[in-house]
Structure 1
Amino acid sequence: MTVDIKEDGHKPLPPDERRREVQLPWCRPKPGHEDSRAPDLLREIMGHPNYRQADEDIDFLNRDDMRATRLLLDYQKPETLLREHGVAHSIVVFGSTRIPEPAAAREHLEVLRARCEVCPEDADLHRQVRVAERVLAKSDYYEVAREFGRIVGAAEGSGDNRLVVVTGGGPGMMEGANRGAHDAGAKTIGLNITLPHEQFPNPYITPGLCLRFRYFALRKLHFLMRARALVVFPGGFGTFDELFETLTLIQTRRLRPVPVILVGRAFWERAFDPDFLVEEGVIDPEDRELFWYAETAQEIWDDIRQWYARAGRDMREAETGVE
């Protein structure tokens, strides 16, 4: 219906937010009867990759000169989602992806032993059996991680004051921690990283809180921004990377000190020798005091609480971890 806007005293209604009564000229393509080449030319223009809107153009976003934008996105998406979920405080758990729950470790060892019986001269199979035996011996830590996750998940607090278990989202020790929190009915987070090969997160992460990063640096930042403790189970290069980076940040006070607990003294005392580093003068005696050992889930939890009591701090206080 057309309204005479010149009518004395007329005040028009607000226009529809999307629909117009009369189409604008660019809402229709140039018709073929005006130029027979027009439809083909238009298809070529609109089908070209450069016509894609920038935020929908994955090829453009993957260009080298768009790295700064990708870094920002890698930071901002998890930050926004974690805030929306009310995640303010976390207990970070690291550990090997190669140490499964005891039943799975035992089954794998039995398969290897059966193969050895068929091929008793295969030296590599015998080596695999020895490794599988060591993995089975360490698989009890899966249950410790699971029990610790359950304790944290069941801890007092609600909403923004609840402590949330955060892991790298993979199998093994991290699965155990996520699984325990899941058993307790608590939110639990996995921070995955994109790798050149296919991978799957463990199934015990809260849907919507399994977040995937492109850059290790941004993933590490999000591990520590809300961290109230770091609990480290036996692991390999990835576990060492996260552990030593955290210790370095605390050592240099770029990260406000938090409890760092290494689970399994027997493993860690063979894996690295901090007393040797002190004796060699490459770290100070006080740096040796930035972490300690524990064996059980309850001991880990009690140690964290006692550390905060001795520091005169609240695990759930509003504070900035790493800048």
Structure 2
Amino acid sequence: MDVSLLNPAVPEDEKRIKEAFEDRNWNEIKSADSWVVFKVMAEFVEGFDKLAKIGPCVSIFGSARTLPDNPYYKTAEDIAAKLVRHGYGVITGGGPGIMEAGNKGAFEQGGKSVGLNIKLPFEQHSNLYIDHDKSINFDFFFVRKVMFVKYSQGFIVMPGGFGTLDELFEAMTLIQTKKIGRFPIVLVGSTYWSGLLDWIKGTMLTEHNINPEDLKLISIVDTPDEAVKVIDTFYSKYLLKPNF
């Protein structure tokens, strides 16, 4: 039974918690879960279809709440523009803030501008700088994150919140466990990220929950030139250059 019918004032969060404890018969479970499976499959198929041939790209992560007058917005825009001029496309989460700045920088330089938007009750809406054939809307965060890491040759991480940290640690975990290649991860804004880095070194490393080598997975910079240089330097070691 829908608990909201018993108490129409039950908040959505509380409703979801109570639903998790409700008994359901096998037909209800099978029907609901089968529908979710098909929705997940559809999102994977659309993502693979649209992104399979985009060429070398760098993902830019960061807060949806960053306003255009924030210095980090301009930094993200400049990084994206420089990446395009160096031959890379840009992938963002497709929303406002840092994501918009990344798509804007790529779009205005005539580069490939990809937006992987997530449907949320607040904050998130597609920005205007995404190539029309490279805009994808997702219901599931985990499908969206697969697209980020599967089609990126590097990660630029601007200041952000929980979502940005989720994306950062997803990339680091997959690289650390060798599920994907050791692509460069660049944190932009030493002042913003220094506390996190200090905690990782002073607590995680000290407690032997990571290895010293894991710290080499990330670089920390402050300027667009430094950020793009990390990407270029990494690929110069392999004599690789973008091919479009």
Would the TM-score normalized by the shorter structure come out above 0.5?
yes
What do you get for the CA RMSD once the two structures are aligned?
A: 1.8
After superposition, the Cα gap between the structure-2 partners of 1:199 and 1:250, relative to the gap in structure 1 and judged at 3 Å, is: closer
C-alpha contact 1:230 1:260 (8 A) present in aligned 2: yes
Which segments of 5 or more consecutive residues in structure 2 lack a partner in the other structure? 1-30
Q: Of the candidates 105, 128, 143, which is equivalent to residue 180 of structure 1?
A: 105
Encode CA deviations 1:5-59: one digit per residue, 9 max, x unaligned.
xxxxxxxxxxxxxxxxxxxxxxxxxxxxxxxxxxxxxxxxxxxxxxxxxxxxxxx
Do residues 291 (structure 1) and 218 (structure 2) align? Answer: yes
Amino acid at match of 2:130: I
Q: State the number of aligned residues.
A: 211
- 1:101 aligned partner, one-letter code: P
Which ranges of structure 1 fall in alignment gaps of 5 or more residues?
A: 1-61, 103-138, 157-162, 318-323
1:213 matched to 2:138? yes
Matches within 5 A, 1:305-316: 305-310=232-237, 312=238, 314-316=240-242
Give SS of 1:93's match: strand
Distance 2:143 2:158 in 1: 22
- How far is the alpha carbon of 1:171 from its aligned partner? 1.1
Distance 2:92 2:124 in 1: 15
User: Do the aligned residues in 2 keep the contact of 1:228 with 1:315 (CA within 8 Å)?
Assistant: no
1:234 aligns with 2:137: no
TM-score norm. by structure 2 comes to: 0.81
Change (3 A) 1:267 1:199: closer
Answer yes or no: is 1:67 the counterpart of 2:36.
Answer: yes
The alignment partner of 2:128 has SS state of coil
2-structure distance, mates of 1:155, 1:244: 26
Q: Is the 8 A contact 2:64 2:124 kept in 1?
A: no
Q: What is the one-letter code of the residue matched to 2:232? A: R
Q: CA deviation at 1:208?
A: 2.3
3-state SS in 1 of match to 2:89: strand
Q: Distance in 2 between matches of 1:200 and 1:100?
A: 14
Question: Structure 1 residue 275 and structure 2 residue 201: aligned?
Answer: yes
Partner in structure 2 of residue 81 of structure 1: 50
| Structure-2 separation of matches of 1:206 and 1:250 | 29
The Cα shift of 1:154 comes to: 2.3
Q: 1:142 corresponds to which residue?
A: 73
Higher Cα Rg: structure 1 or 2? 1
Counterpart of 1:91 in structure 2 is 58
1:304 and 2:231 aligned:
yes
Shift of 1:303: 1.3
Code of the residue aligned with 1:182 in structure 2: it is: F
Once residues 41 and 55 of structure 2 are traced to their aligned partners in structure 1, the CA distance between those partners, rounded to angstroms, is 20
Could you say if the C-alpha distance between residues 227 and 199 of structure 1 is closer, same or farther in structure 2, counting changes exceeding 3 Å? closer
Map of 1:166 onto structure 2: 91
Per-residue deviation, 1:224:
0.9
Describe the SS at the equivalent of 1:208: helix
Deviation of the 1:210 alpha carbon: 1.4
Q: CA deviation at 1:72?
A: 1.2
Task: Look up the equivalent residue of 1:190 and give its one-letter code.
Answer: G
One-letter code aligned to 1:236: G
Displaced runs of 4 or more, over 3 A: 196-199
Deviation at 1:269, TM superposition (A): 0.9
Name the TM-score, length of structure 1 as normaliser. Answer: 0.62
The one-letter code matched in structure 2 to 1:307 is F
The question of whether the paired residues in 2 share the 8 Å contact of 1:95 and 1:232 is answered with: yes
Per the TM alignment, residue 195 of structure 1 is displaced from its structure 2 partner at its CA by 2.2
Q: Specify whether residues 250 and 313 from structure 1 end up closer, same or farther in structure 2 by C-alpha distance, changes over 3 A only.
A: farther
1:222 corresponds, among 135, 147, 160, to 147
What residue is the counterpart of 1:258 in the other structure? 183
- Identical aligned pairs, as a percentage? 34
Distance 2:215 2:72 in 1: 24
- 1:120 corresponds in structure 2 to none
Structure 1 231/213 Cα, relative in aligned 2: closer, same or farther at 3 Å?
same
